[in-house]
Amino acid sequence: MKLNGSRSSTPKHQESRSISRVSGDARRLAELHARIRACTKCVAAGYLERARPIVAGSIRDRIAIVGQAPGAVEMTVGQPFSGRSGAELRRWLAEAGIDEDHLPYRTAITKCFPGKSPKGGGDRRPSPAEIALCGPWLEQELAILRPQVIVLLGGLAIDRFWGKVPLETAIGRSRVKDGVTYIPLPHPSGASRWLNDPGHRQLLTRALRIVRTEVRRLRKTSGREAFSAVAEHGRYKTGLHI
């Protein structure tokens, strides 16, 4: 007999709590996205003339892509990875088994277009001060989302989550920390010459194989969860994203 009067947990009660948690997290993420999109910290600090923070994804996404910063096309369209770099990234993702209809959560170290580099050859690299101002947003995103895999796209993201190392020592490898698998990828920008080296191209191919392996693992997990839902409750549990 339970002195506190609580009832024993049943599969139905457990599923109800799980659905309630996901619903609550979805609401928290939507509220966070609204606050991010309203952010003007870098404008107020004098780093940007105009703020338009860009972020996209669902609470059910189990893979998150962390890039460097949106580009000029993203600033206009309002969606991450919409320009030429984004098109190349989507080709990479397709090679790893992720199609256009199942794009992962997409965010970046900084959320606004930083402008073109004064030296030419691509976009300006966000300053340490801008990264610091934007950092809490990314921390809150990942805390709510709790992704199982984080793809680190480019040097800034790799520096933040992997450590400051040459790209060739990180690309083609993965690392698990606190239950999260981190997979570094080079930036797909055409301004980057890193991929001109055939050896670096081989490292990219190896990295995409790692992504594909993780995608397959997550899909197997989804299949087991769906089968369990059918067996216990007679229906399919929807909304299982990779």
Amino acid at 32: L
Rounded-to-integer distance, Cα 15 and Cα 17, Å: 5
**66 three-class SS:** strand
Please tell me the predicted confidence (pLDDT) of residue 192. 80
Q: Which H/E stretch holds residue 96?
A: none
Cα-based distances in Å from 175 to 41, 116, 161, 235: 33, 33, 10, 36
Q: Are 106 and 68 in contact (CB under 8 A)?
A: no
Rounded-to-integer distance, Cα 206 and Cα 212, Å: 10
* Mean pLDDT computed over 145-151: 97
Count the neighbouring beta carbons within 10 Å of the beta carbon of residue 177: 10
Q: Please name the residues in contact with 51: beta carbons below 8 A apart, sequence gap of 6 or more.
A: 39, 40, 41, 42, 43, 112
Length of the chain: 242
**121 three-class SS:** coil
Please tell me the predicted confidence (pLDDT) of residue 6. 43
| Residue pLDDT, tens place only, 57-102 | 999 999 999 999 999 999 899 999 988 899 999 999 999 999 988 9
**Can you give the pTM of this predicted structure?**
0.85
Q: Find, among 66, 51, 68, 55, the residue nearest to 29 by Cα.
A: 55
Q: Find, among 137, 107, 96, 109, the residue nearest to 242 by Cα.
A: 96
* Mean pLDDT computed over 197-216: 97
| Residue pLDDT, tens place only, 102-144 | 999 999 999 999 999 888 778 899 999 999 999 999 999 999 9
Q: Are 171 and 188 in contact (CB under 8 A)?
A: no
Of 17-21, 33-37, 100-104, least confident by mean pLDDT is 17-21
63 DSSP 8-state letter: E
Handedness of CA 166, 167, 169, 174 (dihedral sign): positive
Half-sphere exposure of 12 (CA within 13 A, CB side): 3
Q: Are 180 and 148 in contact (CB under 8 A)?
A: yes
Find tokens 């490292």 and name the residue. 203
Question: Which pLDDT band, with edges at 50, 70 and 90, does 35 fall under?
Answer: very high
Write out the two tokens for 238.
């929807």
Is the model's pLDDT at 3 over the cut of 70?
Answer: no
